[in-house]
Structure 1
């Protein structure tokens, strides 16, 4: 097969274009008042956002900030849901709240379709991906995932203290996504760099952020060209060959979707696995019950997703509007905190407690509306298998040092370091 003209060097100029646009002053530093000056990039938020969210929900349910050029933070379930479903007033063309906004011209496709896409384009771009993420397709990956989890624990043999985040949770979705996309498994450390740059580097100078994203897309184009030369049965070849509206996907669309799968498909899942292990390490009653009653794990897993939902998504206000008593301006950010919605006591009983046998649990860890996570079946499989294997192989464990646990800043929250002592 000859090299597809879409992916020759002349055609790739430029995957980082979506990052150019309105740039805003970089604003970091301690928060004076979370109701009027919030920042999801501060260490206090990363360490424990729930008391902050609870306080805001009581006294200022839609907080405001001038940072990042202006933005809003709803903390009630009903507000988060209403905005998530309102695609007429709010655009998804940028899902990461940062120090600049991509130009309006990239809508309705956005830089990482379909999650950055607006209707009507979104529907068709999302539909392309659905066959790869059905329960049937996901189930085909379970045996390999389980074997890999066992191999990771085998590698810990003889170690009393292990980092359950870096030595376990963070490897699992990396391997699964690499296999799905047909990427070299040894590139896992590069994936981590791409993820941390995209999700935690939001306050970097815009030029540096653009350069970092450029490196990601350069890597993706190398993989794409390799697949063009040597097609095989994987998701990358599928995207290269896919058609939308009677035409092959553009290079930006192919690379953008791959970037989405690489970044969003990895950090969200490793964060959910890590947070679950953190909870079990510090809550012996729940750990002992799940070891004794493994059939309860699927129910407990949904509660971990509710209580420690890792993902917050951003939207941009399309036009000036008055919304639930606040005056929003065009291009204001909206930070949709699904973690805050999941702990709203108006929607969940004992919202601030982790109840591992909670039966009615309509959490929104995977989002709401048209952008509900297309990979939710995959994430659930990885999370379930990871926890099953860990509890089978390491039934007794505690936090080695609670103060040594660190959490990611930004819009995907999960343990970055998680020292656990095995007993």
Structure 2
């Protein structure tokens, strides 16, 4: 096959400085008042954000910080939903709250379409990906996912304690997304680390961010060129052949979308799996009930998603405006806390409790509005299969020591270390 001229460009020395522009230096250090000085980089946010959210919801439902050049944090479901649905006043061009803001000339496509795309471009870019994430397409991935989960647990043989985050939860979405994209199996740990570091970009300096983005682009560009030479039945080849408005996708669109799938498909899903196992390890009554009533698991996992929603997403204010009692400036960040929305007692009965047989559960764990997660069927399948296999193979387990559980993630929160006693 002839070389695709779209990908002859060497990204190592082109456009790297366009990834983000700064509007003020990052402010580090502990938060003094979450209402006026919040920061998702404060370790307390990853360790246990829910008391913080509950406090803000009562005394300051839309918190503010001067960090990151100015940002807002709504905690009421109705405010989070209003912003998520309002594409006229809030842009998705920037989705990761940090000191960097993407330049407006990247609109409406953004760095990682369709999640960073605004209307009208967003609709077509999202529609391109939908066939790969339908229930029918996802169902074809379930047998392989189930077999892989069993193989991971086979590796626990002879062990009394396992790290359920590193040895189980984190391995599953890396395998699934890697296979969907057609990335080499031997590179799984590598692109897992690339995706994890991208998700944690809020903690990086500008120089570190540019350097890491360059490494990601170089790696993905090499993989794209391999697919140009040897087309395959996977998502990368699909994107190379896809057309939008009668034209093949631009290189930045192809690579940006691959990067999105790595980030959105790995850290968010393993966070949900790990958090669910953490809950069951610490709540034996729920664990025992699910072992005895496995048919309840689909309902229970929706409750885990509601109560421990791993994802927050950012938006950018388009223009100066007065919105629900606060004065927002153009390019202010909005941190859309879906976890906060899911714990709003005005929206959910017994909002702060985990009720594994909760029937009415229209949670926002997968987002709201036009950017609602297009991979929700895939994430649900991975979470369900991971829990089904674990509960079948390891019906009795507990936290080895609650103090040794390490939480992390800036906008995809979950346990990074989860030692469980399995015997």
Q: TM-score, normalised by structure 2?
A: 0.98
For residue 244 of structure 1, what is the aligned residue in structure 2? 244
Q: Give the 3-state SS of the residue equivalent to 1:364 in structure 2.
A: coil
Unpaired segments ≥5 residues, structure 2: none
Question: For the aligned residues, what is the CA RMSD?
Answer: 1.1
Partners of 2:254 and 2:201 lie apart in 1 by: 24
**How far, CA to CA, are the matches of 2:24 and 2:254 in structure 1?**
29
Structure 1: tracts of 5 or more residues without a match: none
Offset of 1:9 from its aligned partner?
3.2
Matched positions, count: 423
2:373 aligns with 373
The 5 Å alignment of 1:70-85 reads 70-85=70-85
**Whole-Å Cα distance in 2 between the matches of residues 13 and 214 of structure 1?**
8
- The alignment partner of 1:34 has SS state of coil
Partner of 2:343: 343
Deviation at 1:16, TM superposition (A): 3.6
Per-residue deviation, 1:142: 0.3
Q: Tell me the distance in 1 between the aligned counterparts of 2:265 and 2:204.
A: 23
Residue in 2 that maps onto 1:413: 413
1:196 matched to 2:200: no
Displaced runs of 4+ in structure 1, greater than 3 A?
9-18
SS in 1 for 2:147: helix
Q: Is the 8 A contact 2:97 2:335 kept in 1?
A: yes
**Distance (Å, rounded) in 1 between the aligned partners of 2:134 and 2:14:** 32
2:43 is matched with 43
The equivalences for 1:183-332 within 5 A come to 183-332=183-332
Please give the alpha-carbon distance, in whole angstroms, between the structure 1 residues aligned to 2:128 and 2:18.
22
**Alignment-derived partner of residue 120 in structure 2:** 120
What is the CA deviation profile of residues 123-152 of structure 1, one whole-angstrom value per residue up to 9, with x for unaligned ones? 000000000000000000000000000000
Q: Which secondary structure state, in structure 2, belongs to the residue aligned with residue 44 of structure 1?
A: helix
Once the two structures are superposed, residues 308-348 of structure 1 have per-residue CA deviations (whole angstroms, 9 ceiling, x without a partner) of 00000000000000000000000000000000000000000
The range that moved more, 355-364 or 399-408, is 399-408
- TM-score, scaled to structure 1: 0.98
Task: Show the counterpart of 1:362.
Answer: 362
CA distance in 1, matches of 2:55, 2:64: 14
Q: Which residue of 1 aligns with 2:133?
A: 133
The answer to whether the Cα contact below 8 Å between 2:11 and 2:214 also exists between their aligned partners in 1 is: no
8 A Cα contact 2:91 2:316, kept in partner: yes
Q: CA deviation at 1:56?
A: 0.0
- Alignment partner, residue 88 of structure 1: 88
C-alpha displacement of 1:387: 0.2
How far 1:105 moved relative to its partner?
A: 0.5
